[in-house]
Structure formats: C-alpha cells, structure tokens
C-alpha cells in the first residue's frame, strides 16, 4: 500500500534508503525546507502571511484555553492552588511550543483531509502530536545526539550554592520593608558616576543604586543546564552579601529551609496531587484542536509544575512573618519569579512588576483575560515605561486601570550622561553598524535574519558590523560565525561584553528584528532599521515613523547605503513624539519615580 511520507528533520542513511524505496513503490514524499531529497520530495511550507495567521490564531486559542469551563470552573481555576496560578506559570512557554507545532501541522491540514497511511519523520519536539494523531506512523530519531555534560558549570554552581545557603543561615535576620527580587546574572553596564564600564544588572542597576535602607535585594543564581548549551554566567559578585551597598537575602537559603520543613513538603505533595487529579477533568472539556494540543503540552510540563509549587510554599513560609510591605520584580510573569510573587500576595504583601521589555499583541506574558483580571492574576501594581504601555496593559492585557503607572525606563537614566560625553568625541571614519540579535523561536527566521545582515554588510566593505549578542545567546558564537562564513562576511565582530547603551551611543545605525533595543535606539536619536521578513512590524516601529523597513538583504543594503550617504535621515519630530509616548521622560530620574510609586499610595504619587 502506498503511503504519504512527511520529512521534517535530518534523516539517517538507512532512513534515506527507506524513503527512496517507499517512493519507488508509489508513495508520495513531502519535505519541509532544508530536509529535501533531490528528485524525490515535494516541498511543503507556510508563506509569511500564513505564519502570521498561525501566530494570531494560536494566541487567541491559548488565551481562551484558560477560560474554558468545567462544572462552573475554568481550566485556569482547576490548576490554581490558593494563589499559585499554575496555568499562568506555563502560558508563555506553552504558546510558543503550540505555535511551532502549528507551523508544522497547518500546511498538512491544508493538503490532506485525513492523516491515514502517513509516515512522519519528525524530531522529538513533535511528540505532543502523537497522542492526538494515533493514525500516524511517527518516526523519531533512533539515536539521541551526543550532548556535552556541563560538569564545570555544575561544580562551580554547587560550590556557590553551598556558600550562599551557609551565609543565609548564619546571617542576622533583618526585616526590610521592601524586597527587590532578581536573578544574579551580571552584564557590562555603565557606572553613572565614572561613566566607565562595570558589572551590574542590565535592567535594574540604576534602580539598585538609588535604593535606601528600607530596601533589600532578594536574589538567586539560576542553576545551569546539566547538558547542552547553557547561558550560565559565573561572577564573584554572586558570593557577596550586598550589591551597590544594598543588602542581599539569598533565596536559596529559604528554599533549603522549606525543603527541610515537613509542612512545606506535604503542601507541595498535596498540591501536586490536586494538579494530577485535574488533568482528566480538563481533558473532559470541550476543546478545539489547538486547545487539545495546548493541554497536552501543559501536562507534559508537570514536573516543572511541582517545582514551581515547591517554590511557592517555601516562599510562603518565608514571607509569613517577614513584615515586608512589597515585593518588586522585573520579568514578573516568568514562572520562577511569579511563583515567589504569588506567595507574597497570599501573605498580603503588595506585588509590584517593572516593565522590562516591549509588549505587543503576540506577547503571552502580558496578555490576560477578563477572568484573569477578576482573579487579580497580574501584579497589584505595574510600573511601565510610558503612557502607550500603560494603555496597552489596560486595553489589551486586561490589567485593572488602577494597577498601572507610567514612570519611564530605568535604563535610560544613564542616557543624558552618555549623550553629553559623546558630543565631546571626534567623528569616526568607519561606518559602525550594530546588529542586536535575538534568540527567535522560529529557527528559520532567526537564521535568515543573521544571514541577511551579514550578506548586506559584506557588500559594504567600508563599514564595520558589531553583532551584540542577546544575553541568552552568549554561548552561540559558533552559530553566528558559521552564518557569517556562509554569507562571506568578514568585516564583523561578535560582542558579549560591551554595554549596550555605549554601543548605541557610538554607532551610526542599529539593526534589529523586533527587540526592545529598537525602542532604546530611538532614545538616542540614532537611525533604526527593522529587518522584518514576515512584514508584521510587531513593535510598530515602522508605523510610528521611527524605523526604516527592510525585508531582505537587498533592501537592508540599500537602506544602509542611503543612511551612510546622508540621503536617508531620521525624522526628529517623530522620534520626539515616540519618546514622549513610549518612554514618559528621559531625564535621569526614572529610578527616583519608581521608588516613590512603590513606597507611596497612588494618590500621593500622582
């Protein structure tokens, strides 16, 4: 019997022989881009417009998933333990996993009415589909790739954690009024006083430097991955009991304390048991195909859910009699952070979120439903960069209107000083281009963006490209070097150490896809190019008139050439309007406003 074969991964030699035999016996062979077998396969893919449609359809379905009801309870309620909203811990990760699976599934649904007699050669990332399509013969890789064991990272982490727990246990207990939570990963930042590069937190450093003795830092060092690529970054500062004169409380200490407490272990075990009882009930609800896939992926993260619940109950024990008035955090919707914040909220402590990146219609971390708003799943107070973001959270994110205040972007407090210093420097002879890379979750778009940048810069030999790697890409130098080699580009350097703002201040133009860095480039009145293969303009930079729009290497080269010749210039009026709309004020006083918003009532702050 002839079959239909779908190929979406690299095949072994024996698998290629098998596919060729199937083709000889009348089977039809389809392959996704990069997996073709010459003379045998028909290509299968989604167009940019179709991918865009998948993005929005998936987002709508994932958001609605939490509101699906079962016996007068929503799925979100089924997976809530007290204040611990487990569904929301995973919503961000689940959305991107479902979206990528739909990139695979959508073109198949367009081609076939049924998947009977089909063989899918796919990676293990496709496994969630196996339960939903039992009629398919799934062929996963027979051998697992050899992955390097990160022994050195794990050893240094173990030594560090032992020290941090010990210091937590022997340190005198103080009761701060306010706690600023952060993971201790340090980057190069400019010191406000010396204007020299130093080590600090890339988002919060200028806020930390302004905190008074009412505040302490609640910090943790995230465990490196045991195997494979890891962005673990060791720093001697992780051993120190203070940062920028602010006392630290090592979160690892109260996690161990919780682990040793029988009550915390029992609470975690009972809560996890309740989750497992909820899965069959969720499967019994009326779900769309995408929502069924959402549930499969959510359930596959069950072990992570147990860990987040443990963090929640350990943090509840810590906060129970702490006297803390408020806990503040950036990245407040990530599961590691939110599990701590949910515990604080259970104990009657105000939770404050600090905007740390741009928001848009496809950013699941900031999009909630009306039911979520009624349950106050989001922080009690969120401090945004500007009025646009404030309105976005209220109108699209369903945040309560009394829970959002604009203060400005903390990192901009250094900008007035950098601009003043840059005016004193002589003009440079080389055209300096900065490409702010991103670990895009679509691997094809991630590769194409880098390739097009290298290809365009290769054709501009008088220019120099600095690829400013995203913090999560610090271990990806080989990846970008291979792309540069494929594009034939040599006039570039990879940068993981320079302060981003110093690079923006010194460059002639910056390129990115949809990063927050684009917003920050406008703050410096520097030319911004958005490389947007899907023509989505996700952040609206082009629509606002503050970015040139490139869609491939040729349009990118043309725009760069125009900027260097002086025929393409920024629109200063639109830049100024953009800053007023999105950044409130760039006056060096954002940290000061943050502290007032945190410590004062809203009426007093206004």
Ramachandran category for residue 71: left, alpha or beta (phi over 0 → left; psi -120 to 50 → alpha): left
pLDDT tens digits, one per residue of 479-503: 999 999 999 999 999 998 888 888 9
Contact predicate 20/46, CB 8 Å: no
Q: Which two tokens stand for residue 352?
A: 């404050």
Angle between helices 48-65 and 86-111 (to 10 degrees): 140
DSSP 360-426: -TT-GGG---HHHHHTT-S-SEEEESSHHHHHHHHHTS---GGGEEE---GGGGGHHHHHHHHTTSP
* 8 A C-beta contact, residue 61 and residue 290: yes
In this predicted structure, what is the pLDDT of residue 149? 81
For residue 388, the tally of other CB atoms under 10 A from its CB is 20
Determine the Cα–Cα distance for residues 32 and 593; give it in Å rounded to an integer: 51
Q: Is the CB of residue 33 less than 8 Å from the CB of residue 48?
A: no
Question: Is residue 432 situated within a structural domain?
Answer: yes
Question: Sorting pLDDT into bands at 50, 70 and 90, what band is 172?
Answer: confident
* Nearest Cα residue to 390 out of 211, 595, 597: 597
Provide the pLDDT for residue 606.
57
Mean pLDDT of 474-481: 90
Domain membership flag for residue 249: no
Q: What's the pLDDT at 605?
A: 59
Burial class of residue 489 in the structure, from the number of CB atoms within 10 Å of its CB (0-12 exposed, 13-18 middle, 19+ buried): buried
Strand partners, 218: 181, 249
Per-residue pLDDT reduced to its tens digit, 53-91: 999 999 999 999 999 998 889 999 999 999 999 999 999
Residue 140 placed within a domain: no
Do the Cβ atoms of 118 and 137 come closer than 8 Å?
Answer: yes
The confidence score (pLDDT) of residue 232 equals 74
Please give, one letter per residue, the 3-state secondary structure of 318-373: HHCCCCCCEEEEECCCCHHHHHHHHHHHHCCCEEEEECCCCCCCCCHHHCCCHHHH
Mean pLDDT across the chain: 92
- Inside any domain, residue 515: yes
The answer to whether residues 372 and 378 touch, using CB atoms and an 8 Å cutoff, is yes
Q: Is the pLDDT of residue 328 over 90?
A: yes
More confident residue, 229 or 309: 309
Find the mean pLDDT for residues 399-406: 95
Of the candidates 493, 463, 448, 483, the residue with the CA atom closest to the CA atom of residue 563: 463
Could you read off the pLDDT of 192-238 as tens digits, one per residue? 888 888 888 989 999 999 999 999 999 999 988 888 777 677 889 99
Domain hosting 543: range is: 426-582
Q: What is the pLDDT of residues 426-449, one digit of tens each?
A: 666 789 999 999 988 888 899 999
Q: What is the pLDDT of residue 1?
A: 67
Q: Does any domain span residue 334?
A: no
Strand pairing of 84-85 and 118-121?
unpaired
5 pLDDT tier (thresholds 50, 70, 90): very high
% residues pLDDT > 90 (the chain): 75
The two beta strands, 215-220 and 178-183, are parallel
Q: How confident is the model at residue 16 (pLDDT cuts 50, 70, 90)?
A: very high
Which pairing describes strands 350-354 and 326-330: parallel, antiparallel, or unpaired?
parallel
Q: pLDDT confidence of 8, banded at 50, 70, 90?
A: very high
pLDDT: is 185 or 516 the higher one?
185
Question: What pTM, to 2 d.p., does this model score?
Answer: 0.83
Cβ-in-10-Å burial (0-12, 13-18, 19+) of 171 comes to middle
Is 97 a member of any domain? no
Read off the CATH number of the domain in which 496 is found.
3.40.50.2000
pLDDT of residue 502: 86
Q: What is the mean pLDDT of residues 102-121?
A: 94
Count of alpha carbons within 13 angstroms of residue 56, beta-carbon side: 9
Read off the tokens for 545: 């008139």
For 172, counting Cβ atoms within 10 Å of its Cβ (0-12 exposed, 13-18 middle, 19+ buried), the class is: exposed
Residue 46 makes CB contacts below 8 A (sequence gap 6+) with: 54, 103, 106, 107
- For residue 40, being part of any structural domain is answered with no
Report yes or no on 195 lying in a domain: no
Number of domains in the chain: 1
Nearest 5°: the CA angle 182, 183, 185 is 120
Q: Stretch 468-483: mean pLDDT, rounded?
A: 90
Report the share of the chain in percent with pLDDT over 70.
98
Take residue 503 and report the two structure tokens written for it: 């690079």
Instruction: Tell which wins on pLDDT, 272 or 229.
Output: 272
């Amino acid at each position: 019997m002839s079959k239909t074969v779908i190929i979406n991964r690299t095949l072994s030699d024996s698998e290629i022989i098998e596919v060729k035999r199937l083709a000889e016996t009348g089977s039809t062979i389809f392959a996704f881009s990069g997996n073709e077998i010459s003379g045998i396969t028909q290509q299968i893919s989604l167009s940019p417009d179709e991918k865009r449609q998948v993005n929005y359809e998936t987002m709508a379905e994932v958001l609605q998933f939490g509101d699906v009801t079962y016996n007068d309870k929503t799925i979100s309620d089924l997976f809530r333990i007290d204040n611990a909203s487990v569904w929301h811990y995973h919503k961000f990760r689940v959305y991107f996993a479902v979206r990528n699976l739909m990139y695979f599934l959508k073109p198949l649904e367009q081609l076939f009415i049924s998947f009977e007699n089909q063989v899918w050669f796919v990676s293990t990332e496709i496994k969630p589909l196996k339960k939903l399509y039992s009629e398919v013969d799934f062929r996963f890789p027979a051998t697992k790739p050899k992955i390097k064991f990160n022994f050195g990272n794990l050893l240094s982490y173990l030594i560090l954690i032992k020290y941090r727990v010990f210091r937590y246990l022997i340190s005198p207990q103080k009761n701060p009024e306010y706690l600023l939570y952060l993971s201790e990963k340090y980057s190069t930042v400019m010191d406000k006083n010396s204007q020299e590069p130093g080590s600090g937190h890339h988002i919060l450093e200028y806020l930390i430097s302004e905190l008074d003795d009412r505040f302490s830092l609640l910090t943790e060092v995230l465990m490196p991955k045991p195997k494979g690529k890891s962005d673990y970054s060791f720093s001697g500062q992780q051993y120190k009991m203070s940062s920028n004169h602010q006392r630290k409380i090592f979160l690892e200490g109260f996690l161990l304390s919780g682990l040793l407490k029988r009550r915390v272990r029992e609470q975690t075990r009972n809560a996890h048991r309740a989750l497992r009882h909820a899965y069959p009930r969720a499967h019994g609800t009326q779900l769309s195909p995408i929502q069924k896939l959402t549930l499969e992926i959510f359930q596959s993260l069950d072990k992570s859910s147990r860990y987040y619940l443990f963090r929640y109950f350990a943090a509840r024990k810590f906060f129970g009699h702490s006297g803390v008035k408020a806990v503040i955090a950036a990245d407040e919707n990530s599961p590691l952070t939110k599990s701590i914040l949910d515990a604080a909220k259970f104990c009657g402590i105000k939770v404050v979120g600090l905007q740390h990146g741009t928001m848009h219609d496809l950013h699941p971390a900031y999009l909630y439903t009306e039911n979520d708003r009624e349950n106050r799943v989001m922080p009690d107070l969120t401090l945004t960069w500007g009025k646009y973001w404030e309105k976005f959270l209220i109108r699209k994110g369903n945040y309560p209107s009394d829970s959002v205040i604009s203060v400005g972007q903390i990192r901009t407090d250094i900008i007035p000083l950098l601009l003043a210093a840059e005016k004193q420097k002589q003009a440079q002879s080389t055209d300096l281009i900065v490409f702010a890379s991103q670990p895009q979750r679509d691997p094809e778009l991630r590769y194409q963006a880098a390739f097009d940048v290298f290809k365009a810069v290769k054709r501009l030999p008088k220019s120099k490209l600095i690829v400013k790697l995203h913090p999560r890409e610090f271990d990806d130098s080989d990846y970008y070097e291979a792309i540069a080699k494929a594009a034939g580009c040599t006039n570039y350097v990879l940068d993981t150490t320079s302060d981003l703002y110093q690079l923006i201040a010194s460059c002639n133009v910056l390129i990115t896809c949809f990063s927050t860095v684009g917003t920050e480039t406008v703050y410096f009145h520097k030319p911004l190019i958005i490389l947007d293969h899907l023509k989505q303009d996700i952040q609206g930079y082009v629509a606002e008139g503050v970015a040139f729009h490139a869609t491939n290497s040729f349009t990118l080269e043309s725009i760069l050439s125009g900027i260097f010749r002086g025929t393409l210039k920024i629109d200063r009026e639109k830049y100024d309007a953009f800053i007023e709309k999105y950044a409130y004020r760039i006056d060096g006083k954002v940290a000061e406003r943050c502290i007032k918003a945190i410590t004062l009532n809203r009426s007093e702050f206004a």
